[in-house]
Every structure is written in structure tokens, then in C-alpha cells.
A and B are shown apart, each in its own frame.
Chain A
């Protein structure tokens, strides 16, 4: 990696100050994406601002119908949390299936959604559950947060502090792992929420998206059969050596059905 200055921030305010005064700095949470990028010399930040020791970014709270997870909470902590398992079991299961044990013990919710890898799992949950992303500056609706491949609504000096997940009546996430990377080649998150049935597809396109046709069909009848004849379009889906756009479109249908079946 190239040389950079390292800062260990102890509060969000301190981190915000640092990022504002160092325009070429990078925030770091678990470093699971950032460090490999630096090691391959694909990024050359002047400064790295480490968020991983900031206490206020950590932790899981359940209040009423809302599960609030701090941006610095590890995937392993979400997976193991009795509160998350009780409130939104599909979210705990999703976190427990990210990467491998080492990754889950370093990687964070905030890092994952800020990075917005098209093959990441969490964006599916954020969108399907109608979550709200909280930053040091504002609240951003999950639907508005993920704007494109590796792109989000975040401003350059904005820090994700937490995500609020409303409890769903029922939810399930089905992941088809890429055989090599084990990221999501396609992931389908189906949730029956207070505002209706929501279906978010990750892995398949440049960024997570809602599958409107499926939502419409499932709103009438929340059964796998309701999806018979509903076909995801392959237009704009990713195509690579692992899966063509057509195959991804096919998998969207299969996984969405399986998620509906698993809703029970």
C-alpha cells in the first residue's frame, strides 16, 4: 500500500472533523474492503480515519417496532444478537452468512452499506425492510440510499452512524453465493412490512433494487404461486464469467419464490 497518515477517532464528532479537514482521507470501519483495496494500490488516500474504536457507533437497540443497529456493529454481533434474532430473524441470518468467520468478526454494517458493493447482502435487507440510514448529518430512507454501483447518497464527509430497521411481520433472505467469492451472485429479500410486501434484489444488478412486479403480485397473494409467470427482466443485470444476465434473471425468480415459501 501507499503511505498514509493514520488517525484513530474516538468520537463521531472527531471523525467528522478529521474527514472535513482532510479531503483526500478515507474512513475505515472493519477494513475488510478498504485494506485489500489499499494493498492492491487501487486507492491512495492521504489519511485513514479509523472508526472502529468509536463506542457510539456500536451496539443494537430494540425500541418498540424498531431495531437500531450502530454502523460499527460487526456482522458477527448482528448474527449472534438475541434481540435481532427475535425481532428480525432474517436479518440475523443474513449477517451470519456474510463472508467467513474472520470477515464477520471485522466487517461492519456501516462499512458494508457505505461501500455498496453490488454483491453485498445488507443492502437487500435495508431496502426490503424499509430501513432508515442515519448519518452524522441526516436520515436517509433506505430506498434512496443506494444510488448505483459502489455509489450511495452519502456526501464525501458524511458518516453513517446507525441503521433503523422496522420490524417486519415476516421476512426471509435467500442468497445464491458466487461459487468463488461467496458474495451474493443473486440475493432476494422478501418482507411483509407494515407498508406492504417488499422485494429487494441484490447481487444481480449494478445496485440493489426493488422488484416491483413481484411486489405487486405478492401483495395480492403472498404465495409462491403468485410469482408463477412473473419474470424478472434481464435488462441492466450484471453479466460476468460466473453468471449471465439471463441466468441471474432466472435466479431472481427462483430465490424470490423460495423466500416466499420460507416466510411460512
Chain B
């Protein structure tokens, strides 16, 4: 696609159309939706990490004011509803499928984490429901629990599910074991590293909410919910939970205040609200409070890994062996099995030519909230591990970390990695060069010396990441165990007056689709932005779609829109040919105007649209009325954004307080539709990555399984004053296999930044490794450890 000079099209930083309503308080979120006769749900949640339910006595609750009903797992079972599912089946080394224990929407006989859903009270008001929930008497037989990822599979650990031995969900492998072992035999150096990827709690600004509604006149259910992918919610609630057939279930995801992955998933609460709506014949609303969100939103990350890198005498990487234990939490979740496998192991080549890679992942159940995709999903874990061990290699070998990376860069594309991906394009030198320049790497020693004179420790750290996004070629996903296709659909509809409605399956919850998609259409069809409306989030309006995650909306959703727009152009050419009595082959289209080649005969696309709806005398055998096309686009490959992040920190050695003084990110996202929006995505992503590296960490009490970080008093979110001004730039190699050349930018910031931060902190202190988050105490202790030997001298 070539730029037409459209000031609102490709490459223009136009302001976000959606911000008018968001910034003036006119957004319409799920909690803003109130249905006539609405009742309210409150969930009774387990106070124990693991317990058998001996019985539930709801009689006192039922007698309380305003209570309509109390429903439990027994009621779910009586209605023969199915449970929540994991949409991806992973197979173990021995070929056996993963263990997928039942996950009922209300616990039947056992609870497995603090916050697990035991029962629901439906009442006239939210506070009546809450009051009555306290009166539901649950008789628990408390069982031993395990919350530690590292300990879960150890002999003697309590079993989360009695029928899952050693708590092992699966034992997966990828890569060539023999070749990797051989590489280690030939190595001049072996660099090894143990690390933890800390568990995170997503905390989108808007907590989850749901309103279930049932129309007994038509037998139709409607669910308004905080979802990143309403069609997937409908599919799961219909096909697996069995609430209603798809054509009798409408799912609407209105404005959604952030998700970061946590709203991809299909949760108990929304299933219960829509199911209960029929049982009480009233709309049922539930809005999570922040405490519930901490307990019951799916968490992210949570890996414990051991890695070894084989290196030759010059510093070339020969082989990588990784062993990871990944927590699943108490139950498998919508995508959880895929995250530490196909979204993780496949990324371990990074930007490097390492010829042999072998990765083993044990997924374990623990008595904690389920763990699923969280911004980056698997790729941050891979990038952190790889960029940490590469940094250790540079330190162990006494090499410049930038040069060691460069020595190993992939430079020939397409490149087939030893871990199942084929990178179509990239230029890792370009982003590294630009980042080094912007970060003023060459003068770092002077800054370090100056900081030392002020008594401060200054360090610099790199991260050269690559990630796979644009989920996903259905062919590949299917071969790897996905239960759904991962195409995207789009419909482009011209109204008779020439304006355009575009229907997309990619929901927008902060990404700015309503602007960027409009820009794509504006560029492609020559229609002004004001005349384009993007419609998403409603299964009754949008034909189909797989939703927004995995940075897929631009590359997959955008390509679907272009495909539909191309059909509009094709149809328009037919109409113009007919009207102008010319041959279709002679009709040219550019910037919104159809022309008969070599003549001055032309029609604007708006005129064509009007004509299409006034089809007087159309040869109906050859030409249908209307200008409304849909398309399904299935990508040929993943897209591979990459880049270099460089972090510079200064540490106060007396207290361990670490300040990020400079952060540089140079990313290659392929072609960029709206640079301002992309910058926003990068800023947010880096902030989240710095949050993981410096501040955030979910803690459960090892003894009781209680969530210790259950509020913002203890769970530390990044704030503006924790962050420096970011220095951001882009290099560009266009994606080769989609029509718009875009790769995706939504997660890269959170993927690339954590290792850059830890590499900088450890560089400043002069140690090899420190686990995230680099809290003041951890940093202070690490500094103490470097000083002990000297004190002993």
C-alpha cells in the first residue's frame, strides 16, 4: 500500500476519536448499564486456600430482606451446566494430553484458592446481596494447601486436585534435545542462571462487571460484560457452559477500561449472572470491587526457571537449555496452558542465531488464583530469561553486552528458529545502533564516574527483544493444540449517503481502534475520518471475531478490514463500469475516486454508494444492489516486532533506592498507522514492565494461602513519579505477509523493558543476578553482599 498523502491516513498522529467521550465522562461501561427490574449478585468466596465443602446452609440468607435466591454449585450441577474451559490443549513429552480438571462456575465440593466462587446471592440491591452473602453458612473442612510454584511438584506437597499426581498439569518440551546436549559438549563456556519471573496482578482501571438479562418473550439471553472478545465469550458460554445456543445469546462488551489480558478470559461471574437472570427472571448485575479483583482476576507470569547457555570461545551462542516450572493456579483458564509453552518456548531464540535450543516446561497447579495471559503473555518471560542470561554471558566473558549481542544477531531473513518460528523480517542492528546513540552509550562511563563522585551507583542495561504477535495463523495454532481459529473478520458497510460503518471483531479497550481503523479505511477508500464509524463489541452487530489480545488488532484485524475494503473497491468498479458503460478492467480507483482509464469520466465512492442503493435497471444477474462487504483474514505467519531497550539507573547505596534516570526504547513495529497512539502503547507497556521489574509482586502466605498483596496498600503499582521521561524512537522493516505491513505494538513495552531494568540494576551493583522486583531492600542487601568480603579483609 502506498501513502496517498491523506492527512488522516497512514502515519498521521490524529487525535483519538474515542477520547471525546472518555475525557468528558460520557463513556458507557458495563457498570453504567442498568436494565429495568435489575437485581444484584454478590459472590460468596472461599476464605480458605483449600477446603472440602461439607455443606452450605443458605436458609438465614434467604430470609434476609430483598434476597431473591441463593445459588450454589449444586444448582449448577442440577441444571447440567458445563464448566469453564481452557481453549488450548498441550501435550506432555510422553504424548499424553494435559490434565484438565473440571472448573465449575460455582464450586461443587471443593474450593481451591482464597476467593474461589462458592455461591451467589441475588437480591434487590447490591448491599442486600452483600449482607446476605455473609449469612450464607458454608461448612468447610480445611485441607492442606500449596502456593509455592517451586514446591508444587515436590513429593509430599498437598494435591490441589486429588486426581492430578504431583500437581503436574503437563510436562512439555520443545526443540532438539540431542543437538542441544551436543552443543554443550563443544562449549568453551557454560553460563547458567536461576531466576524467578514474579507473579503479577493485572489491575486494569475498570474492575470486571457483568449484567445478565433474559427475555422470556423471545427466549434470548443478553450478557453485558467487560470482555476483550465478546464472540469468544459467547462461544464458550454457549458451547461449553451451555447457557444457551449461540443464536439465543447476545454478548455485548461496551466501553471497557483496560484489560491487559485479564478480560480475554471467560469467568465464572459473567456465566453466573447470565444463567441466574433466567432463574430469577430479572436482569442480574455484578460489579467487582477492587478487593475481589485482586483475588479473582487471573494473574500473570509466575515462572521459576533454570537456564544454561553454551558459548564458544569468541562468544557465539551454541546452545540454550531451559527448564521452567510455570504456575497454572488452581484451575486451568481460558488460554493458560498455551502461555508458558507456545507463547514462551518459541521465543527463546530471541534475536540470536543460537542453533540448538531445548526447553522443558512443567506446568503445576497451586492453591492460588488462576494464571493466564497478561500483557505479553509468555514473551516477557522468554525475553527476561534470555536477555538476563545473555547479559550474564557478557559479564562472565568480559565482553561488551552490546557487542556480544551483535556478534550473535540474526541477519538473514526469513529465518527459521530452532523453536518452531519463522521470522519473516527484521533489522536488529538498526534498532541497536539507534538505541545506543539515543542512550548516549559511549559516554556512559563518564556519567558513572560523575555519579560515583556523588556517592551513587550508576548502571546501564540492555534488552534486545523479539516477540511474536498477530495471533495467529489458524493452521499453525491448530497444529499446536488451539481449539479455535485465530483469524479476524471485518465488514465494511457504505450507507446510501456515502458514510461508512466498519464492523470488527477486535474490541477496543484502550488501544484506540476507533481511530486507527478509521485511518486505515480513510487511507484505503478515500473517505474522511468524520464519515467513518468503527463498531465493535456486540455479537448482535458484528458478524464474528476473535477479539483483542496478542497485539493482533492491527496486523490481523486491520488486514481483515483492508480485505473487506478491497471487496468494496472491486464491487465499486463493477458498478462504475456498468454506469459508465465501460469495461471493469478499465476502472481505476484512487483516493476515493473511480475513473474510466483514459477518459474524464469518474464517480466518487460516495456517488457509487448512493448508486448501489438505487439500483434501478441493474442487471441483477451480474450486479447485486448494495455496497456492504465482509471478509475473514487468516494470517500466514505471526508478526515479529523487535527492538532494543536501554535502561540507566542510579542507586543510593545507603538505602537501596533505585531511580531510573534514563530509558530508551527503539522499536521496529513495521509500518505505523498512528505514531501518537503507538507512543502511548509503548509508554504504557514500559511503565508496566518497570512495574514488574521494580515494584510489583503478588505474594500469598506460604502457610495459609491468604493473599498478602490484596490491596494497593501492599501491591505496588507504578506511578508517574517512579518513571523517567522515555526516549522513544522507531526503525522500520515492514511485515512481509500482511497487506498493511504492520506488526503490532501493544505488548512490546512490557516485553522488552524488565530485563533492561534488572540488567541495569545488577550492572550498577556489580552482581550477576537479582530477582524482580528490585525493591529497595533487595538492592540494599545485594550491595551489602558485595561489600562483605571487603569488610572481612
Footprint of B on A, CB under 8 Å? Answer: 2, 40-41, 176, 179-181, 241-244, 247, 250-251, 254
Whether A179 and B712, one on each chain, are in contact in the complex, defined by CB atoms closer than 8 angstroms, is no
- CA A181 – CA B710 in complex, angstroms? 12
CB-CB nearest in chain A for B130: A41
- CA A251 – CA B699 in complex, angstroms? 24
Whether A180 and B712, one on each chain, are in contact in the complex, defined by CB atoms closer than 8 angstroms, is yes
B284 to chain A, nearest CB (A): 22
Q: Cβ of B716 < 8 Å from any Cβ of A?
A: yes
B775 partner, pick from A2, A41, A179, beta carbons under 8 A: A179
B198 to chain A, nearest CB (A): 12
Contacts of B777 in A (CB 8 A): 242-244, 247
Whether A181 and B709, one on each chain, are in contact in the complex, defined by CB atoms closer than 8 angstroms, is no
Whether A40 and B655, one on each chain, are in contact in the complex, defined by CB atoms closer than 8 angstroms, is no
User: Knowing A241-B699, A241-B708, A241-B709 touch, does A180 contact B776 (C-beta < 8 A)?
Assistant: no
CB-CB nearest in chain B for A180: B716
- CA A250 – CA B655 in complex, angstroms? 8
B315-371 with Cβ < 8 A to chain A: none
- CA A243 – CA B780 in complex, angstroms? 11
User: Knowing A40-B291, A180-B714, A180-B716 touch, does A242 contact B775 (C-beta < 8 A)?
Assistant: yes
B694-738 with Cβ < 8 A to chain A: 695, 697, 699, 708-709, 712-717
User: Knowing A179-B775, A180-B714 touch, does A247 contact B291 (C-beta < 8 A)?
Assistant: no
Whether A181 and B713, one on each chain, are in contact in the complex, defined by CB atoms closer than 8 angstroms, is yes
A84 to chain B, nearest CB (A): 25
Contacts of A247 in B (CB 8 A): 776-777, 780-781
Whether A254 and B655, one on each chain, are in contact in the complex, defined by CB atoms closer than 8 angstroms, is yes
Q: Cβ of B109 < 8 Å from any Cβ of A?
A: no
CB-CB nearest in chain A for B655: A254
Contacts of B714 in A (CB 8 A): 180-181, 241-242
9 pairs, CB–CB < 8 Å, chain A vs chain B: A40-B291, A41-B134, A180-B714, A180-B716, A181-B712, A241-B709, A242-B777, A247-B777, A247-B780
Tally of contacts, chain A with chain B, CB under 8 A: 38
Q: Cβ of B440 < 8 Å from any Cβ of A?
A: no
B2 to chain A, nearest CB (A): 50
Whether B708 and A180, one on each chain, are in contact in the complex, defined by CB atoms closer than 8 angstroms, is no
- CA A241 – CA B134 in complex, angstroms? 30
Q: Cβ of B141 < 8 Å from any Cβ of A?
A: no
User: Knowing A241-B708, A250-B780 touch, does A179 contact B716 (C-beta < 8 A)?
Assistant: yes
- CA A181 – CA B715 in complex, angstroms? 8
CB-CB nearest in chain A for B709: A241
- CA A242 – CA B717 in complex, angstroms? 14
CB-CB nearest in chain A for B291: A40
- CA A2 – CA B133 in complex, angstroms? 13
Contacts of A41 in B (CB 8 A): 134
Q: Which of A41, A179, A242 has the most CB of B within 10 A?
A: A179
Q: Cβ of B433 < 8 Å from any Cβ of A?
A: no
Q: Cβ of B654 < 8 Å from any Cβ of A?
A: yes
B308 to chain A, nearest CB (A): 31
- CA A40 – CA B780 in complex, angstroms? 35
Number of contact residues on B: which range applies? Answer: 20 to 34
B709 to chain A, nearest CB (A): 7
Contacts of A40 in B (CB 8 A): 291
Whether B695 and A254, one on each chain, are in contact in the complex, defined by CB atoms closer than 8 angstroms, is no
B132 to chain A, nearest CB (A): 13
Q: Which of B654, B715, B777, B780 has the most CB of A within 10 A?
A: B777
Contacts of B713 in A (CB 8 A): 180-181
B786 to chain A, nearest CB (A): 16
- CA A247 – CA B775 in complex, angstroms? 12
B613-662 with Cβ < 8 A to chain A: 654-655
New A-B pairs, 6, CB < 8 Å, besides A181-B712, A247-B781: A176-B776, A241-B708, A241-B714, A243-B776, A244-B777, A254-B655
- CA A181 – CA B719 in complex, angstroms? 12
Whether A254 and B654, one on each chain, are in contact in the complex, defined by CB atoms closer than 8 angstroms, is yes
Whether A180 and B655, one on each chain, are in contact in the complex, defined by CB atoms closer than 8 angstroms, is no
A229 to chain B, nearest CB (A): 15
Whether A251 and B655, one on each chain, are in contact in the complex, defined by CB atoms closer than 8 angstroms, is yes
- CA A2 – CA B654 in complex, angstroms? 47
Give the 6 A-B residue pairs with the shortest CB-CB distance, closest first. Answer: A180-B716, A181-B713, A247-B777, A179-B716, A254-B654, A241-B699
Contacts of A251 in B (CB 8 A): 655
Q: Which of A244, A247, A251 has the most CB of B within 10 A?
A: A247
- CA A40 – CA B713 in complex, angstroms? 14
Contacts of A181 in B (CB 8 A): 712-714
B703 to chain A, nearest CB (A): 14
Contacts of B654 in A (CB 8 A): 254
A156 to chain B, nearest CB (A): 26
Per-residue A-contact encoding for B109-139, CB less than 8 Å = 1, 0 else: 0000000000000000000000100100000
Contacts of B699 in A (CB 8 A): 241
User: Knowing A244-B777, A250-B780, A251-B655 touch, does A180 contact B291 (C-beta < 8 A)?
Assistant: no
Contacts of A250 in B (CB 8 A): 780
B65 to chain A, nearest CB (A): 11
A262 to chain B, nearest CB (A): 15
Whether A180 and B715, one on each chain, are in contact in the complex, defined by CB atoms closer than 8 angstroms, is yes
Contacts of B780 in A (CB 8 A): 247, 250
- CA A242 – CA B708 in complex, angstroms? 11
- CA A58 – CA B305 in complex, angstroms? 58
B62 to chain A, nearest CB (A): 20
- CA A2 – CA B128 in complex, angstroms? 10
CB-CB nearest in chain B for A241: B699
Contacts of B716 in A (CB 8 A): 179-180
Contacts of B708 in A (CB 8 A): 241
Contacts of A242 in B (CB 8 A): 714, 775, 777
- CA A102 – CA B656 in complex, angstroms? 29
B367 to chain A, nearest CB (A): 19
- CA A176 – CA B655 in complex, angstroms? 9
- CA A242 – CA B712 in complex, angstroms? 13
A255 to chain B, nearest CB (A): 8
B723 to chain A, nearest CB (A): 13
A70 to chain B, nearest CB (A): 28
A92 to chain B, nearest CB (A): 21
A196 to chain B, nearest CB (A): 27
Contacts of B776 in A (CB 8 A): 176, 179, 243, 247
Contacts of B775 in A (CB 8 A): 179, 242
Q: Which of A176, A244, A251 has the most CB of B within 10 A?
A: A251
CB-CB nearest in chain A for B784: A250
Contacts of B715 in A (CB 8 A): 180
A153 to chain B, nearest CB (A): 27
- CA A169 – CA B717 in complex, angstroms? 40
Per-residue A-contact encoding for B773-791, CB less than 8 Å = 1, 0 else: 0011100110000000000
Whether B695 and A179, one on each chain, are in contact in the complex, defined by CB atoms closer than 8 angstroms, is yes
CB-CB nearest in chain A for B697: A241
Contacts of B134 in A (CB 8 A): 41
CB-CB nearest in chain A for B654: A254
- CA A195 – CA B715 in complex, angstroms? 42
B720 to chain A, nearest CB (A): 12
- CA A2 – CA B130 in complex, angstroms? 10
B370 to chain A, nearest CB (A): 22
A244 to chain B, nearest CB (A): 6
B48 to chain A, nearest CB (A): 19
- CA A241 – CA B709 in complex, angstroms? 9
Q: Which of B708, B717, B776 has the most CB of A within 10 A?
A: B776
- CA A173 – CA B709 in complex, angstroms? 29
B373 to chain A, nearest CB (A): 25
B684 to chain A, nearest CB (A): 20
Contacts of B695 in A (CB 8 A): 179-180
Contacts of A254 in B (CB 8 A): 654-655
- CA A254 – CA B697 in complex, angstroms? 26
B129-169 with Cβ < 8 A to chain A: 131, 134
